[in-house]
Structure 1
Amino acid sequence: MASSTINAKSENKSKVLKVEPLDQKDAKWATLVKITYTDPEGVERTWESGERLTRPKDCDIDGVGVVAILRDPSKPDESPRIVLQKQWRPPVNATVIEIPAGLIDPNETPETCAIRELKEECGYVGEVMDGDFGVSPIMFNDPGFCNTNLRMIHISVDMSKPENQNPQPELEDNEFIETFTVPLTDLWTECKRFEEQGYAIDARVGTLAEGVELAKRWRLA
């Protein structure tokens, strides 16, 4: 699946209608808290922070991000492709370029969550990569603002398998996700192009792109 050239502003008809304060008693997904703490000099200070309300009990993460790489073993010379998504997000009032991701269920491992989310959102069936690269350390999305965190799960998708020939997402009624792929080596260039077209870039995608570009420029591989 190639990336689209349609301008994001004309492609998606979603729009923010109203923004208003939310009473904490009505919050289902997130809330605000005031943290009182002492700084390195012992001075008492306060901090406003966001917190998710969805983290399962006895779980150390809120969810996972999925780095899904498509490869066909019969075509070893082809550049690997990364699975991306377009999804309109109300907080930024824009269509965002993202990786597959989702909240973890109770008693679910990060690996199982990632495989499930990839299948549900994109239709692909993959396997977590071998070794200690399969699951990342816990990463905090924006620690100056909230305690939301995740693990990045790296998944290999074998495109020669029958189940990946015609992937069919299993989206919920309130999910409007467009899945596409780009060559992994071109991710930085693609992010720049998407920004020019009016899309917002998710930090996880941007960081992945930056890492690939650094590796190329500094010949780390």
Structure 2
Amino acid sequence: MTAPEKSSNKSKVLKTEPLDYKDAKWATLLKITYSDPEGVERTWESGERLTRPAGSDIDGVGVVAILQDPSKPDADPQILLQKQWRPPVDATVIEIPAGLIDPNESAETCAIRELKEETGYIGTVMEAGFGVSPIMFNDPGFCNTNLRMVHITVDMSNPANQNPQPELEDNEFIETFAVPLKDLWALCKKYESEGYAIDARVGTIAEGIELAKRWKF
């Protein structure tokens, strides 16, 4: 079982302050007035993304990238993870590759592009109806942000995947690593004990694997 070294990211929150609506670029807050099942008028405070392209039904994608080498059929498949410091939680987060969708871009195209940009790996979307998930809402009690999970196989025998080079933007500081898929639950517990934050997508994948193991699906 492998684990990443402690993050070397030295980022830190310097201050927090209210965000004026006119200055919002990525997200804002809304006050929603609605009627409950008994006809009582109520209000709800909600976050809203400002970046969803017109005509798109999602904000972005999460990428479940599984590393496999066809020449080693008995080797344990590995899942590609990342370490990225996130200001809202003031911590380095264990994540999967992910990103916002571009105008007129499909979830599949977005996932392949984001995987290449963030990790350098080239992958193929899985077939047999498992390539793209239904639309998932990240935190529907708070915001309307949503995504599709895209499941990708990375062929490690492909020469292009031997020395992958990410194409990060100047504000991206991402460390990529891979761990055995079967050990993900135990590793999440380990990372948490070391001070990392666990992205809910990573934790949910790990929990699903553990449930399948325990109930012998």
TM-score (norm 2): 0.98
Q: 1:139 aligns with which of 136, 139, 151?
A: 136
> Is 1:91 equivalent to 2:88 in the alignment?
yes
In the TM superposition, 1:1-221 aligns within 5 A as 3-6=3-6, 8=7, 11-220=8-217
Q: Tell me how large the CA RMSD over aligned residues is.
A: 0.7
What CA deviation, in whole Å up to 9, does each residue of 1:25-75 have, x standing for no partner? 000000001111000111110100000000000100000000000000000
Instruction: After TM superposition, give the deviation of residue 132 of structure 1 in Å.
Output: 1.2
Q: 2: CA distance between counterparts of 1:185 and 1:37?
A: 44
How much does 1:4 deviate? 1.9
Whole-Å separation in 1 of the counterparts to 2:139 and 2:49: 12
Deviation of 1:202 (Å) = 0.2
Instruction: Give the match's secondary structure for 1:91.
Output: helix
Separation (CA, whole Å) in 2 of partners of 1:159 and 1:140: 32
Q: What is the DSSP-based 3-state SS (H/G/I as helix, E as strand, rest coil) of the residue aligned with 1:210?
A: helix
Give the secondary structure class of the aligned counterpart of 1:85: strand
Identity level (%)? 80
Q: Classify the secondary structure of the residue corresponding to 1:150.
A: strand
C-alpha displacement of 1:5 = 3.3
Structure 1: 5+ residue stretches without partners: none
What is the rounded CA distance, in whole Å, between the counterparts of 1:191 and 1:132 in structure 2?
28
